[in-house]
Chains A and B, each alone.
Chain A
Amino acid sequence: MSIKIAGVGKRFGDFIALEDIDLDIATGELTALLGPSGGGKSTLLRIIAGLEVADSGSVEIEGVDATGLPAQKRNVGFVFQHYAAFRHLTVAGNVGFGLKIRKRPRKEIAARVNELLELVHLSQFADRLPAQLSGGQRQRMALARALAIEPTVLLLDEPFGALDANVRKELRAWLRRLHDEVHVTTVFVTHDQEEALDVADRIVVINQGRIEQVGPPDELYDHPTSEFVMSFLGPVTTLDGNLVRPHDLVIETHPFGDAFPGRIERFNRVGFEVRLDVRLIQDDVAPPVLVTLTRADATAKALEIGLSVWIAPVAGASQVRITTPVAPTADDLDVSSPASVPEPTFT
């Protein structure tokens, strides 16, 4: 096991940031800490790095008890959301910083810096100052800098949060490829579920200081163990007291099986999919059910506003029973107020 976290807790004054966290991360794995802002994931990352001290519990890195070690002794590479570039040093100076203070010979430093700059495609910027680079380039430099010291673990704190959407997607794919090449144990923090699903080997969902669920992306998406995980990882809608994915709903213009009757209240074409709000006959008060399907399907079934339809979950669709009074709908994927966060339940 590369990182072993046991019983870690941390509070800031009255605010409990982390409570009783147990987590094992395997060597060479690319793990995402996913969760809403303020949920504790950054705090956990910083505790692993040694930039924060846990109030209780222990952190073990590659078999060594690191709980009492300060950051500089842990040999972890850390990448910050806003790059934390050394402004007065060139790109090469930044990347070589860790090696320089370890007093490696100059030639060795130069060789390693070149190697890394090539890896991150920044060779031609070696003598530039960080201020002359774009955001994406600065982050690549930060990555090279962290990798230069051959860290046991690579930690990234919302590394793409400060970048444009396009650059984000690009760097995301790029991180995945980098990891495939370099194979260092990597943990990154994000609040973007798409990012986590796209890049990680395993996802740890953290909310309100607790771990909700851990597992590979598919498992979390298809077999969520709680309302929170289900609604955080993808779109959800409520049908018959259950959370279900809008694209897992079958919609027909004639009754079938146990399907629920309703009427199409809204018809929206967004890109390649069609989104329908279906008002159930039996329930005027609850919000309408969201159903998504491809354009082709929608055209084939000749769906339009006002039409009477019947909907039911497809066989084998993942569903989670709702136990809280206020059910999250497709509109509030991001859980903001504590009141609306459902308790974890199991179906």
Chain B
Amino acid sequence: MWFSLLVLIPLTAVLVQASAGGWSAYWDALTSPQTLAALRLTVGQAVLVTAVNVIMGTAIAWVLVRDQFRGKQLLEVVIDIPFALPTIVAGLVLLSLYGPSSPLGVNWANTRVAVFLAFLFVTLPFIVRTVQPVLLELEHEVEEAAASLGANRLTTFRLVILPSLAPAITSGAALSFCRAISEYGSLVLLSGNLPYSTEVASVRIMSSIEGDKLTEAAAVASILLVVALIVIVVLDLISRRVARYA
């Protein structure tokens, strides 16, 4: 009903606009070297960041659930900051530590590292928050059973805990990937948006819009939309599969 007005119509418009120039125009827009470079950078960094998040996200969730120390509650708030912070502010935030006049003496503004950092920042909460509830729910006795059968901590983690966490990690990874390829605001100030080197897909779309090349913009946007759709479908499949175990 009202929802479709708000959501569906504009999104279909993008697809329609993308096809406005016909198939060849669509293909041209997508395969222009600048666009390809942007897409490659976006997807490449997103995959890298997702891999890091799988490890760090699980580690953070583990510490939050299994460990006890003063100030742990603070960490809970810290983890959600990237989620609640406006993206442009995120850019400023990262610039202050990793850009010019950084107290660390590094200057990664306008480099690929900046793209990596920005993605890492905004995707921080996702895997943590999907893994945390599952970790909380894990039966303590199952780990004891594994121990009584002769498994040490590492083996127990590998063969018993990790498989139980796998669906949560996967869905978190999917969300993280989607979020990364969509990121825009933090990169505006941080990456310099240099074509072929630090320009990501969303920035490419923006510059196409500003250049009034709406069809071109829509073409690239359609790719991002397709990826998002695939991710949502995958998430749904995973959650259905997990229901089998419960």
- A interface vs B, CB < 8 Å? 49-51, 70-78, 80, 82, 84-89, 97-98, 101-102, 129, 131, 142, 145-146, 149
Contact at A85–B142, with CB atoms within 8 Å? Answer: yes
A189 CB, min distance to chain B CBs, angstroms: 14
Interface pairs A-B: 7 shortest CB-CB: A98-B149, A78-B148, A84-B141, A84-B145, A88-B163, A71-B147, A84-B142
Residues of B within 8 A of A146 (CB): 148-149
Contact at B164–A71, with CB atoms within 8 Å? Answer: no
Name the residue on B nearest A52 (C-beta): B144
Tell whether A78 pairs with B163 under 8 Å between CB atoms, given A84-B139, A131-B245, A149-B150.
Answer: no
Main secondary structure of the interface of B (DSSP, over half): helix
Residues of A within 8 A of B159 (CB): 97, 101
A-B contact pairs, 29 of them (CB 8 A): A50-B147, A51-B147, A70-B147, A72-B147, A72-B148, A72-B149, A72-B150, A76-B148, A77-B148, A82-B139, A84-B142, A86-B142, A86-B146, A87-B142, A87-B245, A87-B246, A88-B164, A88-B166, A89-B163, A97-B149, A97-B159, A101-B149, A101-B151, A101-B155, A101-B159, A131-B244, A131-B246, A142-B145, A145-B145
Size category of the B interface is 20 to 34
B244 CB, min distance to chain A CBs, angstroms: 7
- Assembled-state Cα–Cα distance A50/B149 (Å): 12
- The answer to whether the Cβ of B160 comes within 8 Å of any Cβ in the partner chain is yes
Residues of B within 8 A of A102 (CB): 150
Residues of B within 8 A of A82 (CB): 139, 141
Residues of B within 8 A of A75 (CB): 150
Residues of B within 8 A of A131 (CB): 244-246
Residues of A within 8 A of B164 (CB): 87-88
Residues of B within 8 A of A129 (CB): 244-245
- The answer to whether the Cβ of B239 comes within 8 Å of any Cβ in the partner chain is no
Known: A80-B144, A131-B246. 9 other contacts (CB 8 A): A71-B148, A75-B150, A77-B149, A84-B139, A84-B142, A85-B142, A129-B244, A146-B148, A149-B149
- The answer to whether the Cβ of B152 comes within 8 Å of any Cβ in the partner chain is yes
Residues of A within 8 A of B141 (CB): 80, 82, 84
